[in-house]
Structure 1
């Protein structure tokens, strides 16, 4: 049987995803600006700002490489009532495209927020998210040599996959820590994303993903703060990934800093046997500006440090956030996390 012929740009993306970029090999979408809104990685974050908050995030990855990932995400979250503020709700809409494949999802998030002290500056939240993703692939764009080759679909395939996620999030004015589990239904036989070759048991499946996040706030001087943070991403099968970030905050309005994303090897995993994969990934420059107390805009640029750097022009990401007034007059401390 002849091997399918795939357009070179799409093939390059697939190979580099699996070989050149180990810390990007996880299936979940990741944003460099998650530090401004962690709902994308932890459902327990819903309602953290205690005001109705909307954000739009647009990410173009590996610009200049045809078929490279493009992602858009809209989220809206807040608390359900103005007195106890114990319940947070959030919604996320995500559209992602990689080569011939698309993934569009809708998730609803619920967080129960426990008050830990008298002045209500510390909260412990437990969150649950549930949603569905529509995965689709256009086999015609893969251009197989033999149209009846069972290893490559020659038409369009689409499937709806339901899933859930769970998280814990603690916050105070000085630091935060959280942990979450995404894709909790992964591994179920009904969660095959695509299956067109009945002669093989191989198929694309979701993997369970684990996240650990933390960060803190340092007052350097009057009107000057430092906000370091980290995010650990793990699926127990592929490479581990670590994001290290630091932002300098001027007058609570202008943020500037950067991040470093790399693979981390804490133990020997099966996939590494006989492999010499590089941990190099990317360096990010990030800025955020509050045009008003309720409107913010952020931009980040990722410079790729792996072997992919010679065939693309980096990744761009823009976020726009808007906070809506609430009915209660409680003076909120600035939300730095």
Structure 2
């Protein structure tokens, strides 16, 4: 069998197995923020992506999940998330670095995550093997004034805000063979606990593991098709998945469809600006198809990415002639 056929068969088998896992497990303990445009934000899930490409890269993303959602008491509380990333690569080295910042607000709780990332990239057999790690802080806060408790405990505050900060780290591995890639990563390895000064509360940030697979091919001309799959695991007990197919023409216009297991179907659009396509706009629309009794039907995601390419200046030596000197 042709190598391309082997890869496609492998990808199909993994996709089928993942769908079965997703249908048989519920992601009840998913604590990390989720993004529909995950295929453009690999560094959030896996630090091995940091600096893998040349140049300096920056991105900003805003997600409004379950827009206009209100609780039974008439208050809001839908998840709202911002993601900022920056990455680069040491000149003449195989070492990449990056920074990620995530602000995730869900009802009365808010989480802020700031991580520094580093990765080593090694060329092997027409591909790249990358190993990465990150370390940073995870801040969790709760506004007791916004909590609606059915059976409140005597020592539960009714007002004020509590905030707690803990150390946070993770690791990742990425194999990119040009046509296909496979990434494995694990976040929050130390599983920090946030009890807000009261030992009777146990709000632990669980270990989250991810598997990201993708395949790239050109069926005709400048058209590129890229199916991808993101498998999410929480403490290896609960599974969920995102699957998508993106089409890009001349690195300029892109569009695709995505599906999040047991929750939503999505439309993703993208357009690159400037002559060198260095500035990219992205938009994702989610239509919720599962659990509508506890959610609003739509989610929206806006993304802006900018690539500052490497600039190499070649200074040509010119012979200067004067009446006295020639140099």
TM-score tier after normalising by the smaller chain length: 0.7 to 0.9
Distance in structure 2 (CA, Å) of the matches to 1:203 and 1:231: 29
Helix, strand or coil at the partner of 1:241: strand
Which of the numbers 54, 59, 69 marks the counterpart of 1:55?
Answer: 59
Residues 197, 162 of structure 1: CA spacing in aligned structure 2 closer, same or farther, 3 A cutoff?
closer
Distance in structure 1 (CA, Å) of the matches to 2:256 and 2:141: 37
Once the two structures are superposed, residues 89-126 of structure 1 have per-residue CA deviations (whole angstroms, 9 ceiling, x without a partner) of 00011111011111112100000111224xxx521110
Q: Pick the structure with greater CA Rg.
A: 2
Helix, strand or coil at the partner of 2:27: helix
Which residue pairs with 1:193 in the alignment? 194
When structure 1 is superposed on structure 2, of 151-160 and 27-36 the one drifting more is: 151-160
2:304 is equivalent to residue 313 of structure 1: no
Query: Gaps spanning 5+ residues in structure 2: where?
Result: 1-24, 70-75, 314-327
Residues 161, 153 of structure 1: CA spacing in aligned structure 2 closer, same or farther, 3 A cutoff?
farther
Q: Which residues in structure 2 correspond to 1:93-112 (within 5 Å)?
A: 93-112=101-120
Which of the numbers 287, 290, 293 marks the counterpart of 2:272?
Answer: 290
Which residue pairs with 1:71 in the alignment? 81
Q: What's the CA shift for 1:284?
A: 1.0
Which of the numbers 273, 288, 309 marks the counterpart of 1:304?
Answer: 288
When structure 1 is superposed on structure 2, of 30-39 and 144-153 the one drifting more is: 144-153
Q: What's the CA shift for 1:153?
A: 5.6
Distance in structure 2 (CA, Å) of the matches to 1:145 and 1:245: 40
TM-score (norm 2): 0.80
Once the two structures are superposed, residues 188-247 of structure 1 have per-residue CA deviations (whole angstroms, 9 ceiling, x without a partner) of xxx32134554x4x5110111111111011111112221001011111465311111101
Distance in structure 1 (CA, Å) of the matches to 2:237 and 2:173: 24
CA-based RMSD: 2.3
2:61 is equivalent to residue 31 of structure 1: no
TM-score (norm 1): 0.78
Contact 2:66-2:78 within 8 A present in 1 as well? yes
Q: Which residues in structure 2 correspond to 1:74-89 (within 5 Å)?
A: 74-81=84-91, 83=92, 85-89=93-97
Which residue pairs with 1:223 in the alignment? 222
Which residue pairs with 1:178 in the alignment? 183
Once the two structures are superposed, residues 268-290 of structure 1 have per-residue CA deviations (whole angstroms, 9 ceiling, x without a partner) of xxxxxxxxxxxx21111111111
Distance in structure 1 (CA, Å) of the matches to 2:28 and 2:149: 27
Contact 2:54-2:309 within 8 A present in 1 as well? no
Which of the numbers 306, 309, 320 marks the counterpart of 1:322?
Answer: 306
Contact 1:105-1:132 within 8 A present in 2 as well? yes
Contact 1:178-1:212 within 8 A present in 2 as well? yes
Q: What's the CA shift for 1:250?
A: 1.5
How many residue pairs align between the two structures? Answer: 282
Query: Gaps spanning 5+ residues in structure 1: where?
Result: 1-20, 263-279, 330-337
Contact 1:64-1:313 within 8 A present in 2 as well? no
Distance in structure 2 (CA, Å) of the matches to 1:146 and 1:240: 31
Once the two structures are superposed, residues 16-38 of structure 1 have per-residue CA deviations (whole angstroms, 9 ceiling, x without a partner) of xxxxx943641111111110120
Helix, strand or coil at the partner of 1:39: helix
Helix, strand or coil at the partner of 1:26: coil
Once the two structures are superposed, residues 11-59 of structure 1 have per-residue CA deviations (whole angstroms, 9 ceiling, x without a partner) of xxxxxxxxxx943641111111110120010000001222100000100
